[in-house]
Amino acid sequence: MAILSFIGFTLLVAIVAYFATRKTDENSSDGYFLGGRSLTAGVIAGSLLLTNLSTEQIVGLNGQSYTEGVLVMAWETLAAIAMVVTAIFLLPRYLKGGLTTVPQFLARRYNTTTKTITSALFLSGYVVVLLPIVLYSGALAISTMFDIPEKLGVSDWAAIWICVWGIGIIGSIYAIFGGLKAVAVSDTMNAVGLLIGGLMIPVFGLMALGDGSAMDGLSILSDKLPDDMLKAAGSADSSIPWWTIFTGMMLVQLFYWGTNQAIIQRALAAKNLKEGQKGLMLAGFFKILGPIIVVLPGIIAFQMFGGDLAKPDEAYPTLVREVLPTYLVGFFAAVLFGAILSSFNSALNSSVTLFGIDIYKEHFNKEADEKTVVKYGKLFGVFLAFLAMFVAPFIYYASDGLFGYLQEVNGCYSIPILTIIVVGYLTKRVPAIAANIAIIVGSVAYTISQFVLKPMVGEENYWHFLDVMAALFVFNVVLMLVIGAFYPRKEAYVQEYTEQVDITPWKPVKIVGAIIILIVVSTYIYFR
């Protein structure tokens, strides 16, 4: 029964995605990379949420909340504020310039060298970090949920290989041969399933705590949990000390939701600015509710199992196994499978876009027509997918704590890229040389700080990585402004309106944004 419901829901998503995209022109850059610039608010919101949410986040954050409580909700709730900033400040400028990729803006604002360096940093992050990790964590979840080793009579290692290649091939079909619209439509359907399935776990968990009553279970949590489990402000030795919320945390969120190609590509594909802003705001509201899915189950697991679990990351799958009725296991597995596919094919589609637009056309064939760019982008996507599928299984032998480590590693490119984009939009005469120096210096400095100096000094005596990010952001901004003061552009930068989409803003966007920020602040006050 579980296998049938899994296959049924997965096929339903594939069929709907096919019929929704069969008339889209996939031979043009806009058609393939941006779904014909036709995405509406609901599709954008669903795709944004599911692109972000995958097994490493569901399992990892619930594992952190199992040990630290509600303070880890910062990774979810503060994202809503970053979405508001993106909708009001960044998206109008992106759509005004008719961008397909974020590095395209950098080429116009600075030069092609800036664009190439940025695209290379994005691609290196996707190839080395994101794609293999998504494949591995997804394979581990599916293998465990269906007990693949026992059913097929293979070792755990072999089961990981089988699941990695199964997920990778299906995800590649969506991302490479379907383009962004296929990815976005499948994301939206899976987002609905994930919302339903994700809410099931805390509800069934609370009912298990309360002997059939979810409200009684909630009362037990509030009465019996240690006080520090319900405090949003982390102590100095926690994974998110309270002051980092005002330093590097917001910078990480703004980079991820406002400049990360794998995420912002959904908003770039909006049919107009109104739909893009509405999509971001809708996603922001749902992001505030994200802790119900990625934080609350871990806290329930703490109350239910105490400190008996060998590893914190076992909290979520153990809770699912204990509280979810057998007849729902297949559906929930299909939902998780959709989340895995979403993160994989979204990163892969963005990699194809970056290579086709920013690398191939710029450096290999400047005269290539759009059909050729799409063709070679797809070929690169196939190569990248196979590379990720070969690398992913070897993470099986990696050490524990990979989720938190990866967040730290991403700082090698996130803060330098965010710096040059922010300065690029807020100034008119800072030259290309300033951006090129800042992005290289920022990346090298962060790498030395976290992977050379910190091991030498000792983690307990070193700055938190979010504080290091904030310090480097300020340093990079000052560096760029100083260079700009001595070597300014000869002509002030003026952004042109390409008229590819209507950029009339959604009238209530600022009011809705203020409401979202107020809800986030109120949440922190409640859990103070």
Percent of all residues in the chain with a pLDDT value above 90, rounded to a whole number: 34
Q: Yes or no: say if 6 and 141 are a contact pair by the CB < 8 Å rule.
A: no
Dist CA 280 CA 88 (whole Å): 10
pLDDT at 10 over 60: no
Dist CA 463 CA 481 (whole Å): 26
Output the average pLDDT for the chain: 82
Lowest mean pLDDT among 54-58, 284-288, 422-426: 54-58
Dist CA 3 CA 293 (whole Å): 24
Q: Could you tell me the domains of the chain?
A: 2-408 (1.20.1730.10), 410-494 (no CATH)
Model confidence pLDDT, tens digit, residues 214-260:
999 999 988 888 888 888 888 888 889 999 998 899 999 999 999 98
pLDDT at 179 over 60: no
pLDDT at 401 over 70: no
Most confident of 16-25, 149-158, 430-439, 497-506: 430-439
Left, alpha or beta for 489 (phi > 0: left; psi -120 to 50: alpha)?
beta
Helix (H, G, I), strand (E, B) or coil at 39: strand
pLDDT at 28 over 50: no
pLDDT at residue 438, as a whole number? 96
Dist CA 432 CA 299 (whole Å): 48
pLDDT at residue 427, as a whole number? 94
E strands, 328-421, are none
This prediction has a pTM of: 0.82
Tokens 């995209």 map to which residue? 21
Lowest mean pLDDT among 19-23, 396-400, 419-423: 19-23
Model confidence pLDDT, tens digit, residues 81-124:
999 999 999 999 999 988 877 888 898 999 989 988 988 887 88
Q: Yes or no: say if 516 and 284 are a contact pair by the CB < 8 Å rule.
A: yes
DSSP labels for 207-267?
A: HHHTTT-HHHHHHHHHHHS-GGGG-SSB-TTSSSBGGGGGTHHHHHHHHHHHT-HHHHHHH
Average pLDDT over residues 382-407: 74
Average pLDDT over residues 284-288: 92
Q: Please give the DSSP secondary-structure letter assigned to residue 169.
A: H
Q: Please give the DSSP secondary-structure letter assigned to residue 272.
A: B
Calculate ∠ Cα 272-274-278, nearest 5°: 125
E strands, 12-134, are none
pLDDT at 131 over 50: yes
Lowest mean pLDDT among 155-169, 366-380, 384-398, 456-470: 366-380
pLDDT at 475 over 80: yes
Average pLDDT over residues 462-477: 94
Model confidence pLDDT, tens digit, residues 359-370:
887 778 877 777
- 12 pLDDT tier (thresholds 50, 70, 90): low
Model confidence pLDDT, tens digit, residues 181-216:
455 555 566 667 777 888 889 999 999 999 889 999
Dist CA 354 CA 428 (whole Å): 25
Dist CA 228 CA 210 (whole Å): 22
Calculate ∠ Cα 357-172-4, nearest 5°: 150
Dist CA 455 CA 337 (whole Å): 37
pLDDT at 175 over 80: no
Spatial CA neighbour of 322 closest among 306, 305, 334: 305
Spatial CA neighbour of 185 closest among 361, 370, 40: 40
**In Å, how far are 121, 233, 291, 414 from 261, measured between CA atoms?**
11, 31, 24, 11
pLDDT at 378 over 80: no
- 149 pLDDT tier (thresholds 50, 70, 90): confident
Model confidence pLDDT, tens digit, residues 414-461:
999 999 999 999 999 999 999 999 999 999 999 999 989 998 888 778
pLDDT at residue 473, as a whole number? 96
pLDDT at residue 177, as a whole number? 54
Dist CA 28 CA 24 (whole Å): 10
pLDDT at residue 180, as a whole number? 45
